[in-house]
Amino acid sequence: MNEDKPPVIDADAVEMTADGTAVKQDSTASTDAEASKDNLPAVTEARAARTQRWKLTIEYDGTDFAGWQRQNNLPTVQGSIEDAIYKFTGERVTVHAAGRTDAGVHALGQVAHIDLLRKTDEKTVRDAINFHLRPLPVSVISAEAASSDFHARFSATWRVYAYRILCNRRAAPAIGGDNVWYHPLDLDLAAMNKAASYLTGTHDFTTFRATGCQAKSPIRTLERLEFIEDKTSPQQGRHLVLWAEARSFLHHQIRNFVGTLALVGEGKWQPEDVRVALEALDRTKGGLMAPASGLHLVRVDYTPRAIFQQGLDSMI
């Protein structure tokens, strides 16, 4: 990767894919069609019968990437992993992710799948890809053999995001500033959580999705939206984390939540103003979108829904 940062642009993709039937409505291409669109060889039935599907759990710092999705002449997470796999196996494959994160968004537990002709084992897949990824800030945490009907995106049942804010300090952070939203003023945690309570449950989230969101429906069910204070960091300032848990999210939904809830935390809005904005079904009635730097995809699940533990142990 060049030392100069690439342009910070939004990938042509959503932070999270739609759930259940909505996912399939939003999807316009099958695995083979996606490969053709990306100018890669289609996965024929004959080839599929000879490949092994691998489930990858991936961690990355999105700061210097133009998002997850492969783009010509720009560094992306997907493109970097695909290049590493080619160096390992000599195969050009598509890495299919659970959700295509935007430029500057990070992941602690992104999940993807690949199909390889090469006969190998889990340890070799993990270690060989990581060897060829060096020194990029991308790591394959684990590689697991998966059944042919497993799909990183369509099989997912639950997703967890964390949005990190460093506030209440006048000096900008010298360390870790690309992984938080630095907000010099203090924020009212109780008021923000009261406002967030209006957003949990099933709603039409038109006010909080990107105007260019490709999802067919703005209706989503949000199980958890809660700020906690992280008192474990030795770094000076106040560390707040918004935990968001649902089966799926709309494009920019979480960052738009944060930008709006910050208005409440600053005292510019009352908590009830967030309910009014939600009911307006108008993006212009919500707050500005918060920066990508604070957003982390923490976890993707493929089992029946289970509410995660409270606090930072949700990251485990």
User: Could you tell me which residues are beta bridge partners of residue 214?
Assistant: none
My answer on whether 196 and 287 are in the same domain is yes
Residue 244 lies in a domain: yes
Mean pLDDT of 237-254: 97
pLDDT at 261: 98
Looking at the structure of the chain, the number of domains it has is 2
The terminus-to-terminus CA distance of the chain in angstroms comes to 30
My answer on whether 124 and 195 are in the same domain is no
Band the pLDDT of 306: cuts 50, 70, 90.
Answer: low
My answer on whether 88 and 165 are in the same domain is no
DSSP code at position 312: G
User: Which of 102, 115, 178, 301 is an active site residue?
Assistant: 102
Residue 99 lies in a domain: yes
pTM here is 0.83
The proportion of the chain whose per-residue pLDDT surpasses 70, expressed as a percent, equals 81
Q: What is the CATH number of the domain that holds 195?
A: 3.30.70.660
Helix, strand or coil, per DSSP, at residue 138: strand
Residue 134 lies in a domain: yes
Question: For the chain, percent helix, then strand, then coil, each to nearest 5?
Answer: 30, 25, 45
Residues of the domain holding 165 = 158-303
My answer on whether 137 and 173 are in the same domain is no
Residue 10 lies in a domain: no
My answer on whether 223 and 170 are in the same domain is yes
Residue 316 lies in a domain: no
Calpha distance 283→144 (Å, rounded): 41
Mean pLDDT of 226-246: 96
Active site residue 102: yes
Q: Where are the alpha helices (DSSP H) in 159-198?
A: 189-197
Residue 75 lies in a domain: yes
My answer on whether 100 and 167 are in the same domain is no
* Of 105, 126, 146, the domain-final residue: 146
- pLDDT single digits (tens) 2-40: 434 333 323 233 333 333 333 333 333 333 444 444 444
Band the pLDDT of 171: cuts 50, 70, 90.
Answer: very high
Calpha distance 223→73 (Å, rounded): 39
